[in-house]
C-alpha cells in the first residue's frame, strides 16, 4: 500500500502554469502510475463506501478520472461538471472567480434529483471558486446530501470558505502551496 508520502512524491509540480506565479500540482503523474491510481481510488472509496452515494459529480477535467472510477466502485452514476458549451442537452450554469480569472461551470438540467446523495469530486482544492460554483449548481436540485472530495488540498489558500457550511469535505493529501 502506498503511503501519503509515496503519493505526494509522484505528483509533478509545474511552476508558472498556467500563468506566472502559480505553482501547478499535476496529478496526471498519479494517474499514470498504476499503484498510485489504485491507492487513491481505494482510499477515496473507503471514505465514502457507507454514505449511500448515488451520484458522483466530477469537475472538468481531472475530476473525471477519479470521479468516474469511484462512481463505478460505489455503484453510483457519474455526472460531468463542464465548461460552457461542452454538454449537449439543457444545462444549468454558475459563474465564479478563480485564482487567475473568471469562469463558468455547467451540468445537465436532469443530472441530479432530490433522491440523490451526491459526492462532488475534483483533483485539487485551492481557492475554492470552482467547487463552490459546482456546489451551488448541485444544491439547486435539493439532493438529500452533498459531500466534497479532493485528491489534494492547499489549506493555505482557504478554499473551504467557498464550500457551503455543513458540507463534509475530505482531501487525501494536504500540501503547502500558494
pLDDT in tens, the chain (178 residues): 899 999 999 999 999 998 898 899 999 999 999 999 999 999 999 999 999 999 999 999 999 999 999 999 999 999 999 999 999 999 999 998 766 678 999 999 999 999 999 999 999 999 899 999 999 999 999 999 999 999 999 999 999 999 999 999 999 999 986 5
pTM over 0.85, yes/no: yes
Give catalytic residue positions: 62, 99
> What nine digits make up the cell of 110?
436532469
Break the chain into its structural domains and give their ranges: 50-174
Coil, helix or strand for 131?
helix
In CATH terms, the fold of domain 50-174 is: Rossmann fold (3.40.50)
What would the DSSP string read from start to end of 71-122? HHHHT-EEEEEB-TT--SS-EEEEEEEETTEEEEEEEETTS--TT-EEEEEE
Amino acid at each position: 500500500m502506498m503511503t501519503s508520502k509515496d503519493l505526494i512524491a509522484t505528483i509533478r509540480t509545474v511552476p508558472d502554469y498556467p500563468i506566472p506565479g502559480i505553482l501547478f500540482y499535476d496529478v496526471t503523474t498519479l494517474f499514470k502510475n498504476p499503484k498510485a491510481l489504485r491507492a487513491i481510488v481505494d482510499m477515496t472509496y473507503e471514505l465514502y463506501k457507507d454514505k449511500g452515494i448515488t451520484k458522483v459529480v466530477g469537475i472538468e477535467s481531472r475530476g473525471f478520472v477519479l470521479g468516474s472510477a469511484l462512481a463505478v466502485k460505489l455503484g453510483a452514476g457519474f455526472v460531468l461538471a463542464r465548461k460552457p458549451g461542452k454538454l449537449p442537452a439543457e444545462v444549468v450554469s454558475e459563474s465564479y472567480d478563480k485564482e487567475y480569472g473568471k469562469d463558468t461551470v455547467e451540468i445537465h438540467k436532469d443530472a441530479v434529483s432530490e433522491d440523490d446523495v451526491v459526492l462532488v469530486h475534483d483533483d485539487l482544492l485551492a481557492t475554492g471558486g470552482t467547487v463552490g460554483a459546482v456546489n451551488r449548481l448541485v444544491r439547486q436540485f435539493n439532493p438529500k446530501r452533498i459531500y466534497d472530495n479532493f485528491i489534494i488540498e492547499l489549506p493555505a489558500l482557504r478554499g473551504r470558505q467557498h464550500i457551503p457550511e455543513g458540507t463534509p469535505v475530505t482531501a487525501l493529501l494536504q500540501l503547502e502551496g500558494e
